[in-house]
Amino acid sequence: MVARKFDGSQARRGPGRPRISRKVEQLIVRMARENTDWGYDRIVGALANLGYEVCDQTVGNVLQRHGLPPAPERKRTCVYRELHPY
């Protein structure tokens, strides 16, 4: 009975760090699409101004998951219609 109480099963969670919220992830993607010349650090700074604390590696991972290249390539491959859909 004591062994079951202290086996640590209630404290265990899934492996790894928790994911960032969907809201922050969508904000990162939106900033990257609207500001093609912004790099990871600039996006991190803009998020910090809004009160979100993420690192540049997280921004890079999010953009990679969504198929967006880093800033220099994003600037060259951007289509006018993506920026101005109207």
* pLDDT tens per residue, range 6-43: 676 677 777 778 889 999 999 999 999 888 889 899 99
Residue 85: burial class (beta carbons within 10 Å; 0-12, 13-18, 19+): exposed
CA dihedral 66, 42, 40, 37 (to 10 degrees): 70
Both tokens assigned to 24 = 């922050």
Averaged pLDDT score across all residues of the chain: 82
What pTM was computed for the model? 0.69
38, 46 contact by CB (below 8 A): yes
Domain borders along the chain are 19-83
Tell me what percent of the residues of the chain surpass a pLDDT of 70. 74
Give the per-residue pLDDT at 23.
95
End-to-end CA distance of the chain, in Å?
67
